[in-house]
């Protein structure tokens, strides 16, 4: 039985209204993004993208989340955009930075490689890739590095009273085996300067 015009309109109308609502939300989100109101912008993008697919809007959502230091959400929208079309060099660079902040090293390296494939002289991409690679090597084999705690002692000859009335003790830090010396500093003391050797000093 052929559909009447009324039935066709009843089917199409909700779709048209949904799309119009989403487009209005996108327009509002874009205005918020342009005036750096990223928290408001992402709300609009989230609502609109739940109704329609829009790669450019997804990239603006990713950018907004990135600027708010919400890396996980930013990565989600960069991935959304990447599934629909390859990222440009600039987009891949930003996506790589987000992945790097999330410690997703292999994926970050892949994005930086993508940038360098398109722009071999991109100094930022080179620096980020090198830094990511070096960090990755550091964690590959923990037996390559040994961290040994060094015990320190503090030689405090006598307490002194500062101009503010507080009691401090000059302290020369050094390792217990005498191999290393640390800086001279003052150790604050909660007790009063009752020692007969206590003196007054103008140092803070």
> pLDDT at position 182, please?
53
> pLDDT at position 52, please?
87
Contacting residues for 145 by C-beta, under 8 A, at least 6 apart:
138
Q: Between 44 and 193, name the one with better pLDDT.
A: 44
pTM (predicted TM-score)? 0.59
- Considering only 26-35, 63-72, 133-142, which range has the smallest mean pLDDT? 133-142
| pLDDT, tens digit (0-9, with 9 covering 90-100), for 47-56 | 999 888 999 9
- What is the residue-averaged pLDDT of the chain? 76
Distance CA 112, CA 127 (A): 10
Q: Can you give the residue ranges of every domain in the chain?
A: 16-85, 86-134
> pLDDT at position 65, please?
96
Q: For residue 178, which of 147, 149, 151 has the smallest C-alpha distance?
A: 151
Q: How confident is the model at residue 4 (pLDDT cuts 50, 70, 90)?
A: low
Distance CA 99, CA 106 (A): 9
Are 110 and 128 contacting, i.e. CB atoms less than 8 angstroms apart? no
Q: Is residue 142 scored above 60 in pLDDT?
A: no
Mean pLDDT calculated for residue range 55-68? 96
How many other C-beta atoms are found inside a 10 Å radius of the C-beta of residue 71?
A: 18
> pLDDT at position 193, please?
47
Question: Which position has the token pair 């490689």?
Answer: 113
Q: What are phi and psi of 200, to 5 degrees?
A: -105, 135
Distance CA 125, CA 86 (A): 17
Q: Is residue 198 scored above 50 in pLDDT?
A: no
The fold of the 16-85 domain, in CATH, is 1.25.40
């Amino acid at each position: 039985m052929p559909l009447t015009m009324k039935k066709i309109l009843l089917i199409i109308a909700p779709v048209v209204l949904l799309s119009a609502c989403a487009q209005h939300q996108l327009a509002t989100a874009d205005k918020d993004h342009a005036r750096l109101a990223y928290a408001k912008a992402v709300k609009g993008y989230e609502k609109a993208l739940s109704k329609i697919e829009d790669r450019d809007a997804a990239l603006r959502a990713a950018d907004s989340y990135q600027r708010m230091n919400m890396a996980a959400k930013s990565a989600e929208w960069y991935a959304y955009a990447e599934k629909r079309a390859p990222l440009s060099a600039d987009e891949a660079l930003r996506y790589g930075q987000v992945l790097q902040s999330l410690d997703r090293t292999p994926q970050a390296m892949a994005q930086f490689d993508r940038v360098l494939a398109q722009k071999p002289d991109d100094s930022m991409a080179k620096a980020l890739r090198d830094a990511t690679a070096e960090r990755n090597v550091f964690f590959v084999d923990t037996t390559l590095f040994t961290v040994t705690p060094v015990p320190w002692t503090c030689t405090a000859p006598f307490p002194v009273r500062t101009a503010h009335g507080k009691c401090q003790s000059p302290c020369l830090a050094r390792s217990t085996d005498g191999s290393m010396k640390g800086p001279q500093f003052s150790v604050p003391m909660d007790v009063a300067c009752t020692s007969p050797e206590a003196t007054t000093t103008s140092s803070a």
